[in-house]
Amino acid sequence: MSAIEPYDVTVVGAGLAGALVASTLAEEGLKVVVLEATESLGGTVKHQPGLALLGTPEPFTQAVERRGDQVAHTLWELTSENLVRLEILLERCGIASEKVGSLRLAVDASQSAEFRESAAQLKQYGYDVTLEDDSRYGDQVAISTSDDLLFTPQALINKLLEHENIIVECDAEVEGVKRQLDGSIAVSAHRRYLWTRKVIFANGVHAIRFDPGLAEILHPVCVHTIVFENTGTLTRPLVLDNGHIFFVPHAQSICLTGWDSTETDILWRLSAVANQLCPNAAVRERFTSWVTIRDGAMPVVGELPGQPDVYIINGLGPFGLNLALVAADELAELVLYDRQPTLFALVEP
């Protein structure tokens, strides 16, 4: 047994999920250590503007088809709750945010019909959505929402981790965890070794390395981004191609991001959209990153099978900010009170 008192919780990864969970547990009085592999905090949203979306990026009718009416509706409700809580959290942390709303554009005329139906159903459920029929976007219609929130996720992550009960260590890539005879868990990280009572893997696409079984549930998807100078022509965020491409204007820049689980023609589509929406804007940066997604595009929260006190939060996907807070809370409830997750459960109950 270690002579040193173990930490209550070790969080692996200082992205948004890790920061949210660490902060909630620290607020409850637990001593938390956050180990981050890279030299800085933020994960995939490092240096990115973040758009927390109301609802799912795909048309509501598609969500209903895929998940059933009840689940699709619950998901919209959760994203709405997520936004309310995010706004409160940002205010509490003194971080600026703006209710910029967003515009989802139909891909073609046949999808326009789907959008009309989606808007009608969402209105029935009481959501503040408007159907826009605007020639600027071609013959297609668009669904406009107004509550979507724009903020700087990195600022939030930094602030959340500034807590008296949290120790953050960067350049501390976790290499393995091993249960000890005394019940504590030994965590070996780059040039570090520590003991803890519980471990939370919040390490995005790298989680699969620690439990190969996760590869059955979580699929890595490649996200391509082009950053343009913001010429100010389009000011509202746009969600295109059934949620596979999003366009987020923020301060001096515009982030155009695209992803596809099949990698078919996303780069081609992204260039086509760039030509259409930002024809004369200078490109400042291009980069590629990875996120994980699960079938049905819902986050994953739970205790790893056969590994008591080792938990995971993952699968936030390309629109992770729309459910990150509720997912982090589900995990905190599990860790603190053994309350099993419902919608985001890792293993079906």
| Locus of tokens 């070996």 | 188
Select from 6, 15, 59, 101 the one that contacts ligand FAD (CB under 6 A). 15
Q: How far apart are the first and last CA of the chain?
A: 35
- Binding test (CB under 6 A) with ligand FAD, winner from 6, 13, 258, 302: 13
Q: Where does this chain touch ligand FAD (CB under 6 A) — which range of 39-47, 80-88, 91-99, 179-187?
A: 39-47
226: closest CA among 301, 295, 177, 276? 276
Encoded one letter per residue, x for contact with ligand FAD by CB under 6 A and - for no contact, window 171-210 reads --xx---------------------------xxx-x----
For ligand FAD, which residue of 9, 14, 75, 143 counts as binding (CB under 6 A)? 14
Residues near 292 by beta carbon (within 8 Å), at least 6 away in sequence: 204, 205, 207, 208, 218, 219, 220, 221, 314, 315, 316, 317
| Residue 99 near residue 147 (C-beta atoms within 8 A) | yes
**Residues in the chain, overall count:** 349
Q: Does residue 45 belong to the site contacting ligand FAD (CB under 6 A)?
A: yes
Cβ burial 309-338 (10 Å sphere, 16+ → b, else e): bbbbbbbbbbbbbbbbbbbbbbbbebbeee
* Min CB(222)–ligand FAD separation in Å: 9
Residue 46: CB minimum distance to ligand FAD, A: 8
Residues 268-327 that bind ligand FAD (CB under 6 A): 289, 291, 314, 316-322
Question: Rounded to whole angstroms, how far apart are CA atoms 48 and 170?
Answer: 20
Stretch 236-275: interaction string toward ligand FAD, x if CB under 6 A: ------------x--------x------------------
Q: Which is nearer to ligand FAD, 22 or 143 (CB)?
A: 22
The residue within the footprint of ligand FAD, chosen from 25, 200, 223, 298 (CB under 6 A), is 223
CA distance 257 to 250: 13
Region from 16-24, 160-168, 214-222, 268-276 binding ligand FAD, contact rule CB under 6 A: 16-24
To ligand FAD, the closest distance from the beta carbon of 116 in angstroms equals: 26
Strand partners, 163: none
Among the residue ranges 9-17, 23-31, 123-131, 266-274, the one whose residues contact ligand FAD (CB under 6 A): 9-17
**Smallest gap, in angstroms, from Cβ of residue 256 to ligand FAD?**
10
Give least dist CB 79 to ligand FAD, A: 10
88-147 residues in contact with ligand FAD (CB under 6 A) are none
Under the rule (CB under 6 A), what is the footprint of ligand FAD? 12-18, 35-38, 43-45, 48, 50-53, 173-174, 202-204, 206, 223, 225, 248, 257, 289, 291, 314, 316-322
